[in-house]
Amino acid sequence: MKWEALLAIVGHEAVFSSALLLSGRVSAAQVRLQLTRWVQTGRLIQLRRGLYALAPAWRKVEPHPFPVANKLQRGSYVSLQSALAFFGVIPEHVPVVTSVGPGRPEMLRNPLGSFQFKHMVSEMMFGYTRLEVASRQFAFVASAEKALLDLAHLTAGADSPEYLRGLRLQNVDAMNIQTLHNLAGRSGRPKLIRTAKVIESILSGEEGETL
């Protein structure tokens, strides 16, 4: 495969899988060898095995970190602090993209960013949707309510008023209390049901203020 042929296939992709190049009568070994050579010459960036991005000089699309996170670990969705910051519910900038999924916990760093994955049990894999996070770039992202519950589920003591106040929740119009209770009830976990009640209590006591 020639470089021009690769650009014709993946030029408008933020990131791409090597599997995209293996259709038809091609040699998988030859394709992988050529990809390795382009990585070595700086034309491609290997994000993990089988996943690549064009180097900046050849990009037509700047990769958004959320779709990149989805592809780095199959079955994952962006949640926790990253989803909360995306919806403007917490004030802090979050430099690491935080996701949950069925895979093993891991931290990955590559030229496109830092990506943290936490394991989530299968029965808690709900409350997320596919969003357009940049032009023609889509990612699975937890709702603000589910991101809060995921954080509480994975963090010791996160159902306490002290911890939840410490998040300094803002833009509370981005959250729906009934949705929060429904998701907590669906989980069947007492800790998350308590979390929803504490959040409702805090919001009702300081309505319109930053917590």
Q: Give the separation between CA 119 and CA 9, rounded to whole angstroms.
A: 34
Instruction: List the domain range (segments joined by +) for residue 72.
Output: 65-205
In this structure, are 14 and 51 located in the same domain? Answer: yes
Q: What is the pLDDT of residues 131-142, one digit of tens each?
A: 999 999 999 999
Strands of the chain (E only): list them: 16-17, 44-48, 51-54, 77-78, 96-101, 106-110, 113-119, 128-134, 137-142
In this structure, are 126 and 26 located in the same domain? Answer: no
Q: Give the separation between CA 125 and CA 150, rounded to whole angstroms.
A: 10
Q: What is the pLDDT of residues 117-131, one digit of tens each?
A: 999 999 999 999 999
- 210 assigned to some structural domain: no
In this structure, are 18 and 51 located in the same domain? Answer: yes
CATH number at residue 188: 3.30.460
In this structure, are 50 and 75 located in the same domain? Answer: no
In this structure, are 137 and 168 located in the same domain? Answer: yes
| Weakest-pLDDT range from 15-29, 53-67, 194-208 | 194-208
- How many domains is the chain partitioned into structurally? 2
SS3 56: helix
Report pTM.
Answer: 0.92
Single out the residue in 15, 40, 58 at which a domain terminates. Answer: 58
